[in-house]
Amino acid sequence: MTDITRIEPTHRLSRLVVHNGVAYMTGVTAQDGTLDIQGQTRQVLEKIDGHLAKAGIDKTRMLSVQIWLKDIERDFAGMNEVWDAWVPKGAGPARATGESKLAHPDLLVEILVTAAV
């Protein structure tokens, strides 16, 4: 049986769960809900960098990403502008983007990452 490592666990969730060479990240949102989509996306991606570092990896190890936007028509282009500047050339993960009602009305984006360890 392969060990399961839980990083920053709480009763409800763990920030990251590493199992069998794969890191599964919880959904990441911005801390500052007053920011526009680009500001919130930058905050989220900075947090993702930090979470990946806790697993000893970086964004070049991303396998799959799910991006949820509050309003895909309004925010898709702005989010993609920040995303495109952040993701390493030649290391883009498999990705899906959808629209969803997020947990707080001020949140504009939530990103979930799965990465190889």
82: in domain: yes
Q: What pLDDT, on a 0 to 100 scale, did the predictor assign at position 108?
A: 98
90: in domain: yes
C-alpha–C-alpha distance, residues 75 and 60, integer Å? 25
19: in domain: no
7: in domain: no
Domain, as residue range, for 48: 28-110
15: in domain: no
**CATH, residue 57:** 3.30.1330.40
84: in domain: yes
Number of domains in the chain: 1
C-alpha–C-alpha distance, residues 4 and 70, integer Å? 33
Whether the model clears a pTM of 0.75, i.e. scores above it, the answer is: yes
Contact 93, 62 (CB under 8 A): yes
58: in domain: yes
Identify which of 98, 94, 95 has the alpha carbon closest to the alpha carbon of residue 75. 98
Q: What pLDDT, on a 0 to 100 scale, did the predictor assign at position 86?
A: 98
Q: What is the mean pLDDT of each run of 10 residues along the chain (117 residues)?
A: 87 94 97 97 98 96 98 98 97 97 96 98
6: in domain: no
